[in-house]
Amino acid sequence: MTDTSTPYAVLLARDISHRLDLLADHLAKADPAEAAQIMNQVLDSEVGILGRTDNLLATASHYAKERAVPGAGPGLWQDLARTANSVHDHALDLEMQAGEFHALNARPSAPPPAPPTPAPPAGSKGRR
């Protein structure tokens, strides 16, 4: 059953939030090569998740500014603008370090743990 009372954009925002959680789950389980590919998509400052988040926050800031009460201080729109700028700056910094995820792929993985020592046969007391 579809919820017709909830606007599409609200449902879209919920879906995106859910998908970000799914992506985090996949990243936690990914091998290094896949993690690098995921993070390249996340960190791209133009078309990646951080870049699109920056755009969404900037749009929200413009929306709030256009609808602000005349004479009211900057408040919400300015906070949104600062947040958008911060996300953008961090996205640029992280994008420059995205190669670190590729370096993770180049590192040898930890050796597998040694198999457990077998238990002594039942009835034996071991060495003294």
Q: Is the dihedral of CA 48, 53, 56, 57 positive or negative?
A: negative
Confidence category of residue 122, pLDDT binned at 50, 70, 90: low
CA distance 75 to 86: 17
pLDDT of residue 111: 56
Whether 77 has a pLDDT exceeding 70, the answer reads yes
Q: Are 44 and 95 in contact (CB under 8 A)?
A: yes
| pTM value > 0.85 | no
Tokens of residue 97, six digits: 């370090």
Annotated domain spans of the chain: 13-106
Mean pLDDT of 109-115: 59
CA distance 53 to 47: 10
pLDDT of residue 33: 86
Higher per-residue confidence, 32 vs 58: 58
Tally Cβ neighbours within 10 Å of residue 42.
Answer: 21
**pLDDT (tens digit per residue) in 12-48:** 999 999 999 999 999 999 988 898 889 889 988 889 9
> Which residues, 6 or more positions from 80, have their beta carbon under 8 angstroms from its beta carbon?
57, 58, 60, 61, 64
Q: How far is CA 75 from CA 36, 49, 69, in A?
A: 38, 26, 10
Confidence category of residue 101, pLDDT binned at 50, 70, 90: low
